[in-house]
Amino acid sequence: MSMRGVLRLAEVQMRVLDMADSKQHYGTRMGLHEMMTDDNGLVYFKAWAEHDHHSLVLRETDQAGLDHIAFKVYDDATLDDLEKSIIDFGIEVERVDAGVYPKSGRRLKFILPTGHEMHLFAEKEQVGNSLGTLNPDVIPDDDVCRGFRINGLDHVFIVGPDADQNLKLFTEVFEFSYTERVIDGEGNTVLFFVSCSSRAHDIAFGVNPNPGLIHHVSFRLENSQDHIRAADLIGKYEIPVEMNDRHGVTQVKTVYYFDPSGNRNEVFCDGYTYYPDMPLLTWTMDELGHAAFSQSLHVPESFLGVYT
């Protein structure tokens, strides 16, 4: 890993039931910055520390869930290389011209084995993070880092059939590292965690008979003080909380809660620094308490059964 190739999860487009409620949740309360509304009514947000124009897109419709995920790659030549590799893997790739997705360069669009729409792109308009690039500030002005004090979009946990094929695609074609897994009593892997960075995961896959579902979209916090603040605000606003605990898997301090449409969100801090020479970590289902929530050892039924 020298941070070339696929860089990071850079955009998630979520379906929401009511845009006004959703703008209050993701904007006013979580503190993401609303950047624009396009001609189709989609609303675009960024976290304060991100340079790209947006990382979260909301589309109002009658069913919650995930429209697409998009990863940013290092440069345009990477897109050419990956297009060939994805096709060789056996997945059809659609080329999407620059500008079709607002503020974005050209994209590759395809369907993952788990049934999720995924894009790759190399260019998106950069608007900066308010600190400047010449002798930059260390902290932003007041009201820039606000609400839950989210630094950035981090990862998604998606579920569907053929999650093992997602693993193969991400490790063999996109050159992610396989960092952690959960295996069932028969030795079958049911949860897969992979990384393209120094974090323990940039995306995770779960086995589920239904394609295209999302378990959660996750946002990164700077530190545990911000984690406490986010949890306090979740209480203040009476946002439905599922768990406030620590994951054994990835070792992050986490809060799971739901947006007004029933989409599961996560904010987290901490977690270990990953390097590609680290061994794969394995958890067994009979120790799921330690794997999932290592403080309470309690796994709510909803955590294993609610997807959008």
Beta bridge partners of 254: 245, 268
Q: Which of 155, 215, 257, 274 is catalytic?
A: 155
201 catalytically annotated: yes
155 catalytically annotated: yes
54 catalytically annotated: no
- Give 177 or 218: the residue with its C-beta nearer to Fe ion: 218
For strands 43-46 and 107-111, give the pairing: unpaired
- Give 93 or 243: the residue with its C-beta nearer to Fe ion: 243
Considering only residues 200 to 229 of the shown chain, the ones binding Fe ion according to CB under 5 A are 218
- Give 55 or 218: the residue with its C-beta nearer to Fe ion: 218
Give me the phi and psi of 227, to 5 degrees please. -65, -45
- Give 166 or 218: the residue with its C-beta nearer to Fe ion: 218
At its nearest, how many Å lie between Fe ion and the CB of residue 199? 11
Helix (H) or strand (E) holding 12: strand 6-16
Q: Which of 33, 54, 216, 227 is catalytic?
A: 216
Strands (E), 2-129: 6-16, 33-37, 43-46, 56-60, 65-73, 94-96, 107-111, 117-121
290 catalytically annotated: no
> CA-to-CA distance for 232 and 237, rounded, in angstroms?
9
Q: Are 25 and 150 in contact (CB under 8 A)?
A: no
Q: Which of 11, 50, 242, 266 is catalytic?
A: 266
At its nearest, how many Å lie between Fe ion and the CB of residue 191? 11
For residue 33, the SS3 value is: strand
- Give 42 or 163: the residue with its C-beta nearer to Fe ion: 163
Instruction: Find, among 202, 198, 147, 141, the residue nearest to 31 by Cα.
Output: 147
Q: Are 254 and 288 in contact (CB under 8 A)?
A: no
Burial class (CB in 10 A: 0-12, 13-18, 19+), 94: exposed
At its nearest, how many Å lie between Fe ion and the CB of residue 298? 17
At its nearest, how many Å lie between Fe ion and the CB of residue 281? 15
Query: Minimal CB distance to Fe ion: which residue?
Result: 218
Considering only residues 255 to 274 of the shown chain, the ones binding Fe ion according to CB under 5 A are 266
What is the contact surface with Fe ion in residues (CB under 5 A)?
218, 266
Active site residues: 155, 201, 216, 247, 256, 266
